Amino acid sequence: MEVVAHEWVHNFLSLRPLGVKYYASPELRTMNETAASLAGTEIGRAVMERFYPDLLPPPPPVEVTEPSEPEKPPAFDFRDEMRQTRVRVDQLLAAGKVDQAEDYMEERRRFFWDNGYHLRKLNQAYFAFHGAYADEPGGAAGEDPVGEAVRDLFKQSLSLASFLKRIAWMTSYEQLLESVSSSLN
């Protein structure tokens, strides 16, 4: 349901400036993909609740303050590990250490492979593609502020419809920042 809703939002946006300008800049692409992901999650869950309640996953367990069993080592967290990778690669590239960044990405690709995530190639193209989906902090988006601003606008919006109507008409990252800032005042 989330995927169908996500793609439907792209259709909705394609008739408005944010969708028309999808390829105009990496920021607009991230705004578009993040908006579609946020809306897809909300719409997908609403459809499941209404039409397929028996298929909904259970809510996350409530954490107990005092564990009754010894704590197990944490499970491999793909999003967190990918965020760490992206942040380190960005640091290396900012310092002009391109060869070290390439070596590090290959080292990390093998690490992901060993933990069950069979990535054929981990490079800047991977981050450029997957970094546009910034509906949750971290992951391949790294420290990208665009996703954070879209999430802030989403939280500030009175409804999903008002969020989509607002972001659909944006034509720049600066406009997004102004909108988020003006909502705070």
Structural domain count of the chain:
1
Distance CA 127, CA 118 (A): 16
pLDDT tens figures, 82-137 = 878 888 888 888 899 989 989 998 999 899 888 888 888 888 777 766 655 656 65
Q: Which are the contacts of 45, defined by CB distance < 8 A and separation ≥ 6? A: 1, 2, 56
Reported as a pLDDT band with limits 50, 70 and 90, residue 182 is confident
pTM for the full model?
A: 0.65
Q: Say if 69 falls within a structural domain.
A: no
pLDDT of residue 61: 72
What is the C-alpha to C-alpha distance for residues 123 and 81, in angstroms, rounded to an integer? 15
Name the residue range of residue 167's domain.
Answer: 2-56+75-179
Q: Could you report the per-residue pLDDT of 123-159, keeping only the tens digit for each? A: 877 776 665 565 665 555 556 788 889 999 999 999 9
174 lies in some domain: yes
The per-type count for the chain, helices as H runs and strands as E runs, is 9, 0
| Torsion 147-148-150-154 (CA) sign | positive
63 located within any domain: no
CA atoms of 122 and 183, how far apart (whole Å)? 38
pLDDT digits (tens, 9 = 90+) for 18-43: 999 999 998 999 899 999 999 999 99
Taking a C-beta distance cutoff of 8 angstroms, is the pair 14, 20 a contact? yes
Residue 62: inside a domain: no
Question: Which residue do the tokens 């944010």 mark?
Answer: 18
Is residue 68 in some structural domain? no
**Position 174 pLDDT exceeds 60:** yes
Q: How confident is the model at residue 141, as a pLDDT?
A: 54
Quick check: is 154 in a domain? yes
Evaluate whether residue 158 is within a structural domain.
Answer: yes
Both structure tokens of 96: 């002009």
Residue 175 falls within a domain, yes or no? yes
